Amino acid sequence: MVDALFGRMGRLLAGETTGNGRSLAYVWCFGSSCLTATLLLPHPAAANELGLALIVGLGYLGALVLFLRAGTLPQAALEAFTYLGQLLITALALLWGAEAPFLWFHVWLVVHSFHFLAPSRASRQIVFAALLFVFATVATHSAFPAATSVVGVGTIAAIGMLVGAFRARVDELLRAAAHNAAVDPLTGLANRRAFADSYADERARSARFGTLGGLLVLDCDHFKALNDRQGHVEGDHALRRVADVIRAHVREVDTAARLGGDEFAVLLSGPDAGSAAAIGTRIQRALGSGPGPRSPTISIGVVELPADATVDLNSALAAADRAMYRAKSQGGNRVSVGALDATRPVIHEHDRPRVVAAPEAAPTP
């Protein structure tokens, strides 16, 4: 039950674009509610009740604005709300008429800042809160202002730094998890999920700027026989060798991935089918110059992607697969260029050494 409650709170307060504003709204609302409760309980006779009630109203109003506009307020406005909250906390202390308990509200805002802001910006919040804490402690004639100030400022700084350290560690773990979720552990190339994300992004970019693209599907020839004959360790070496060669022959703007088993794919930004086929040929030649058993030959299917986002990944891969299997049926170790919209892909053989030209494709009835 408690876990479900916190889960719902987390989804409500920590949305992708609204987390900062909504959680700050929660801090303001909860602080105003605590202040309301103190006004209903016995409190100093010298307390300025009208001023305190006014701050309660401002607190609830600020919480409402933050909650409703959480997704549209700029970062600077959210930081301004934090500074304003610290000023209101100081005003509460002065209006209370005696040594006030409200100064510890500063801790709430500092914790929030270190969770959502960069460390340098959150550190400025600590300095501002510390100065206001000392000022309010002295102004309210605390019995031991020096000791109270040291403990208060130390508490604010220590909690803020701890939250900042925990956030840095969580960010580090999230980056590592994101990397592991997107990278094939054997080859270091992108995995199928990351390749699908890159494909969607590249197609959207292509549609925006009107640029072509190319897709290569690469499959090792006779890989099962290599595994059976030399073992899986040698097979893994061969896959890493293929991945290294692919990586060396594509640009940073391109995406190379291992789709699974001994099948790889490369998404090229910009090249037409001819240029993509030339890149495939260079990859094959580089593999051919490598050490014997760790350099299997590969068959490559190529398709040209149009300058729009109309072709989904599955369709593009299916077309490139057809071209790749046609290359295998012609003896392997060659590049075949297929068509996206043909039931029988038109195959063009890219010139390369040691490859016999394929016969012309039969015309479609």
CB atoms near residue 170 (< 10 Å): 11
- Long-range (24+ apart) CB contacts under 8 A made by 43-52 are 43/96, 44/96, 44/97, 44/98, 45/97, 46/97, 46/98, 47/95, 47/96, 47/97, 47/98, 48/95, 48/96, 48/97, 51/91, 51/95, 52/92, 52/95, 52/96
> How wide is the angle at C-alpha 147 spanned by C-alphas 142 and 153, nearest 5°?
100
No. of helices (H) and no. of strands (E), the chain? 12, 6
Residue 65 sits at φ, ψ, to 5 deg, of: -60, -45
Q: Is 262 a catalytic residue?
A: yes
Query: Residue type at 228?
Result: D
Written as six digits, the tokens of 150 are: 């040291």
Written as six digits, the tokens of 37 are: 């409760």
CB contact at 8 A, 301 and 325: yes
- Beta pairing partners, 348: 337
- Beta pairing partners, 349: 336
From 262, 308, 321, 351, the catalytic residue: 262
State how far the Cα of 225 lies from the Cα of 143, in Å rounded to an integer. 85
> What is the total residue count of the chain?
365
User: Does residue 177 sit in helix, strand or coil?
Assistant: helix
What radius of gyration, in Å, describes the C-alpha atoms of the chain?
A: 32
Q: Which of 191, 258, 259, 261 is nearest to 227 (CA)?
A: 261
Q: Would you name the residues annotated as active-site residues?
A: 262
